[in-house]
Amino acid sequence: MFWLKLYSSFLILVCVSSVCHCFENVMLQTSVPVIMYSHRLSPGLTKYQDAYDPEQKIPKESFRYICEELIDKCNSDAYIFINQPGLNRWDFEEYRHSFSHFEKYINGSSTALKFEQVGLLDDEFFKDLLSYTSKACNVREIITLEGNNTDEFQPYIDTDSRIVRIDFPRLSSEVDLREEEIQHFDSYLRTVLAQIPSPYHTVIYTSLESSEFDADLLKNPGEIFQDIFATKTQDIEINDRLRQDPIFRNSPNPRFSGMANQYISVFDSHFVKENYNLLKLIGTTFFCFVIYQVFALFRDAPVEKRTEPAKKKLSQE
C-alpha cells in the first residue's frame, strides 16, 4: 500500500512538472505584426523602412500616424482593413506557402510596408481608421465581412470607392488546423479582391487580438517576407502602364494578301508557264469538241432524195 501511494504521488508530481514546463514555454503577445500596401505608388512612405529594426516595437500612436499618411494619398478605389485574430510574425515564415495569393498582391504593389512588432491594437483602432478614411477620401459606403462566409460579399460594378473590413475567425493553436485556416483565409481574400472592379486598392492586414505563442520562437527574428520587402525600398510606380515600354506585337502576316493589281492575260508568259498543262488540256478539249460538232453536223444533215419524173407513156396510137 505504501508503494502504491508513493507511485501515485510520483505520477502527480510528473504531471504537475509537465504542466508547469508547458506554461513556462508559453508567452502572451505584447505586439502584433502588420502588413500594409498600396497598388499605386504612395510616395514618401518608404522612409519608415529605412534602418528599420524588426526587433523594434512600434508604438500604437506612431503606427496610427503611418496609417493616416498612407490613407491621405487617396489613390485607391477600395480600402481594405483585415483583422486576423491570433496572427503572429512567425506565421509568415512557418506557413508562407499558405499566403500564396496575398504574397502575389504584395509583390505586385508599388508601395508596401511591414512591421513585425506594433503595439497591441483593438477594435476601436480599426473603427477610427475606417472613419478617417471615409472623411479623408470621401468614401461613403463601408462593407463589413465575416471571413468565413464566401457568399457574404456582393460584387458591384460601379466606380464609387468602397471601404471593406474583413474580420476572420481566430486562428487555431494546432499546427495543422492553423495552416489550413490560413490557406482558406488567403483564398477568401483573393475571392474578394478579384471581384472588386478596380486593381487600385490599399490593404492593412493585422491582428486586433493578442495570442499565446511558444517562447522558443523568440530565437528566430521572424522577419516578414524579407525577400519581397527588400525590393520595396524605393518610390517606384510599377503599375503605371504609360511608363512601361510598348507591348511587343508580332508584325502582321495575313494568310491572304488580297487581289493582285496586275492584269491577268493568257499571253502572260508567267501565267502560261505555271498553267501550261491546264491550258493545253483546255485547248485540246476545245479542238476536239469543235471537230466533233462539225462531224455531227454533216452526219445528221437530212439527205434530199431526187425523184425522176415518170416517163410519159407513148401513145400506141
Q: Is 11 exposed, middle or buried (0-12, 13-18, 19+ CB in 10 A)?
A: exposed
Q: For 188, how many CA atoms within 13 A lie in the half-sphere containing its CB?
A: 21
Q: Is 182 exposed, middle or buried (0-12, 13-18, 19+ CB in 10 A)?
A: buried
The answer as to whether 118 is a domain residue is yes
Give me the domain span that covers residue 169: 25-229
Q: Phi and psi for 27 in degrees, rounded to 5?
A: -125, 155
Contact 177, 58 (CB under 8 A): no
The answer as to whether 236 is a domain residue is no
What local confidence, expressed as pLDDT, does residue 49 receive? 92
Residues of the chain with pLDDT under 70: 1-24, 213, 216-219, 241-249, 256-268, 300-317
The answer as to whether 136 is a domain residue is yes
If phi over 0 gives left and psi between -120 and 50 gives alpha, with beta otherwise, what is residue 61?
A: alpha
The answer as to whether 70 is a domain residue is yes
The sign of the CA dihedral 199, 227, 207, 173 is: positive
* Pairing relationship of beta strands 201-206 and 141-146 according to DSSP bridges: unpaired
Q: What is the pLDDT of residues 138-187, one digit of tens each?
A: 999 999 999 878 778 888 888 899 999 999 999 998 989 999 999 999 99
User: Does the predicted TM-score (pTM) go above 0.85?
Assistant: no
Instruction: Quote the number of domains for the chain.
Output: 1
The answer as to whether 212 is a domain residue is yes
What local confidence, expressed as pLDDT, does residue 102 receive? 96
What local confidence, expressed as pLDDT, does residue 16 receive? 42
The answer as to whether 254 is a domain residue is no
The answer as to whether 3 is a domain residue is no
The answer as to whether 48 is a domain residue is yes
Q: How far apart are the first and last CA of the chain?
A: 189
What local confidence, expressed as pLDDT, does residue 275 receive? 81
